[in-house]
Amino acid sequence: MIKPDAVTDGFSGPIIQQIEDAGFRIVAIKKTKLSPEDAGRFYAVHAERPFFQSLCDYMSSSHIIPMVLEKENAVEEFRTLIGSTNPAQAAEGTIRKRFARSLESNAIHGSDSDENAAIESNFFFTEQELNG
């Protein structure tokens, strides 16, 4: 998911280019906006963290671009491509290093397991959008 800061900053194009250049196939994609409640459901695992409210406000502040991506070993390879959560610590050339604003506004989200990738795909897309 390309996050609000990167969409607002006009980095959607180069981010998608970098994702495709790395060999990922885009299965589904759209531009949409989360309500604060949607953002809270998406990040429910962080509900007890001190930054949760701020994260929900940020994630619902503007448009996002969720995508379903396909590649061998996709979860691990995508996490490598996007870099560390904190862009200041992300490796040179990673998406977060290149495009993120800050620890919170860090340009992109990547699922952390195949199980969560399936849950998050269904959060954003219908069965028809995923298989059509």
The residue (of 80 and 126) whose beta carbon lies closer to ligand GDP is: 80
**From the CB of 38, what's the least distance to ligand GDP, in Å?**
15
Q: How far is CA 35 from CA 16, 62, 68, 96, in A?
A: 24, 10, 20, 24
Kindly report each contact of residues 76-79 with a partner whose C-beta sits within 8 Å and lies 24 or more positions away, as own/partner. Answer: 77/22, 77/23, 77/24, 78/19, 78/24, 78/110, 78/111, 79/110, 79/112
Contacting residue, 18, 109, 120, 124, with ligand GDP by CB under 6 A: 109
Check if 109 is active-site.
yes
Applying the rule CB under 6 A, the residues between 28 and 67 that interact with ligand GDP are 51, 54-55
Residues in the interface with ligand GDP (CB under 6 A) total 9
Nearest to residue 110, comparing CAs of 87, 73, 76, 86?
76
Contacting residue, 85, 97, 98, 130, with ligand GDP by CB under 6 A: 85
Which residues carry out catalysis?
A: 109
Chain positions contacting ligand GDP, by CB under 6 A = 51, 54-55, 85, 103-104, 106, 109, 112
